[in-house]
Amino acid sequence: MTTPPSEKGGLHAALKYTGIPPSWLEKRPKLPSRNWLIFMSVVGSLTALYVDDRRKCKQIRNEYIEKVQHLAEVPVFHKDWTRKVTVYSCRYPEDHDHERSMKYFKKYVKPIFVAAAVDYDIINGNQYGALASKVSDDIKKKRREIAGLEKSRDQLLHELQPQTGDRSPAARRRRELGGGAVIIGRHSLKEYMEGLRRGWSESMLKRDAEEEFANTLPDDVFDDPLASTVTEAPMEGLDSTSSSSSSSPLSPPVDVVRNRSPLFGQIRQPPVRRPTPASLDVPPAMMPLQAPIGLVPFTNHIGFKQVPYMIYDFFTERYRVLSGCQAAYAIVMENKRPMTHIDSMVTPNDLDFDRQSERYIKSSWNKLPKRTETAKTDYYKELKDKVKVARELAYGEREPTRAERSNPPMTEVELRGQRLKKELKWKDDLEGWEVLSGEVVWDDKFEGALEVFVAPTHSSQEEH
């Protein structure tokens, strides 16, 4: 017994003559397969999380931009300077990208500065310890300028061409105190505080640190037994003929040799440096008031083991946007308090800033001294053979091989320069490792001279 065909509705009859295939009209929808349902639910959930997170990021950033936009509308006269802060960042431990902290600032903090018309300079340390050396050198330069041993950049420019605006040391000092120092992460704070300690505790006189370090390097690798035999004979001949050559009628007069040349005129002598009085090189007992410090939290996830944290951060970008906006807002509104180095019921210990970020530093960071020592041992093993080849070719003891003709080996002078660069790099890395592996330094000279920006209260917001 056959079942009668089901009656088709009016919609089917209406669409039958429109050219639509009948199979399309008779097809009944059904749920996708189990795999397709799993795929679409996972992709849809992740897409919803991403879109919602980025929407909240935009809302948070726009909220803080609206809070500071009124500061950009304040008129500035043509001879005045806008507020400028200095951003300090350095290389994160075990991160080969030395600009990671700077990129973090530009992404999460800079938009608020731009909205508030706050200018900034960036000082970034490319190597471990470079930021501490830069801060220390700048402070020593200021001390020499105050002592009258060196002219500032504004003074040199004013001598060449008169500059507009008040460029006196007092005005420059006011602009520095009215700006601020923005520190990106705990690692940058360690190097910044170490630079302050060195700058206000060590000698301010200029010195060639590279030359001083080169004099301390041993020359046992480059000892040449043939050097004495090669140089002694010419020196003996020179001594025996020096008296006769000096009395020769063809020898130049003494005044020509010592003072002047008949062809080129007066020979310029290098300027004689006057010794600096020891009384001027005494570090001050207390450090003068410094620019207020703005602390920006920064955690960097590196390595395969921290991939889950990276995935979590990708879908929770709003937390970093909020952290960067809050730090930037505190700096822009200039609400500050004295920096503290002990715990109290009223204020936290500022030296413990962002301590939780140290938990995510790779464990290989603690092995840097051992890696450096291994690299030095391997390098000096190869250096002996390279020096031997360089001297054999220099003294003509053998002919260069075909490979040496196509790719000439380094000379002894080049090997000495390479050795000095590597030794300097290893020394700087170890010094930077000691700074970054320890605690944030504190000196008694810092007491009362450092301030930090904090989130403004309602009363301070009404004043602005």
How many angstroms from the chain centroid is the CA of residue 267?
44
Name the nearest CA neighbour of 69 among 329, 345, 274: 329
| Mean pLDDT, rounded, of the chain | 84
User: Between β-strands 260-261 and 84-90, what pairing exists: parallel, antiparallel or unpaired?
Assistant: unpaired
d(CA 19, CA 40): 33
Degrees, nearest 5: CA angle 262-264-266? 80
d(CA 330, CA 347): 16
Q: Cβ of 117: how many Cβ atoms within 10 Å? A: 16
Phi/psi for 183 (5° steps) reads: -105, 120
Residues, the chain = 464
**Cβ neighbours of residue 415 under 8 Å, at least 6 residues apart?**
222, 383, 386, 387, 390
d(CA 352, CA 375): 34
Distances (CA, A) of 11 to 17, 216, 252: 11, 97, 119
Name the nearest CA neighbour of 183 among 451, 456, 455, 406: 451
Degrees, nearest 5: CA angle 357-360-364? 130
145, containing H or E segment? helix 130-146
User: Between β-strands 451-453 and 336-338, what pairing exists: parallel, antiparallel or unpaired?
Assistant: antiparallel
* CB 102, CB 120: distance < 8 Å: no
| DSSP string for 154-181 | HHHHHHHSPPSS--SHHHHHHHHHHS-E
85, containing H or E segment? strand 84-90
- Looking at residue 75, its pLDDT comes to 85
Give, as one character, the DSSP assignment of residue 32. P
* pLDDT tens for each residue of 359-385: 999 999 999 999 999 999 999 999 999
d(CA 309, CA 376): 35
Name the nearest CA neighbour of 283 among 156, 374, 147, 168: 147
Name the nearest CA neighbour of 126 among 80, 95, 81: 95
Alpha helices in 217-316, H assignment, sequence order: 225-246, 254-258, 307-315
* pLDDT tens for each residue of 138-166: 999 999 988 888 887 777 776 677 766 66
Integer-rounded Cα Rg, in Å, for the chain is: 35
- Looking at residue 257, its pLDDT comes to 44
- Looking at residue 273, its pLDDT comes to 59
5 HSE (CA, 13 A, CB side)? 4
d(CA 156, CA 216): 36
User: Tokens 């939780």 label which residue?
Assistant: 356
Task: Decide: residue 329, CB within 10 A, 0-12 exposed, 13-18 middle, 19+ buried.
Answer: buried
Task: Decide: residue 261, CB within 10 A, 0-12 exposed, 13-18 middle, 19+ buried.
Answer: exposed
Note down pLDDT in tens along the chain; length 464 residues.
556 555 666 666 666 677 777 667 667 777 888 999 999 999 999 999 999 999 999 999 999 999 999 999 888 776 678 899 999 999 999 999 999 999 999 999 999 999 999 999 999 999 999 999 999 999 999 999 888 888 877 777 766 777 666 677 788 888 889 999 999 999 999 999 999 999 999 988 888 888 888 888 887 777 766 655 554 545 444 444 444 444 444 444 544 444 454 444 555 555 555 666 666 778 888 899 999 999 999 999 999 999 999 999 999 999 999 999 999 999 999 999 999 988 877 788 999 999 999 999 999 999 999 999 999 999 999 999 999 999 999 988 889 899 989 999 999 999 999 999 999 999 999 999 999 999 999 999 999 999 999 988 765 555 55
* CB 291, CB 175: distance < 8 Å: no
* CB 385, CB 117: distance < 8 Å: no
d(CA 414, CA 392): 15
Tokens of 34: 């189990």
Tokens of 104: 């973090």
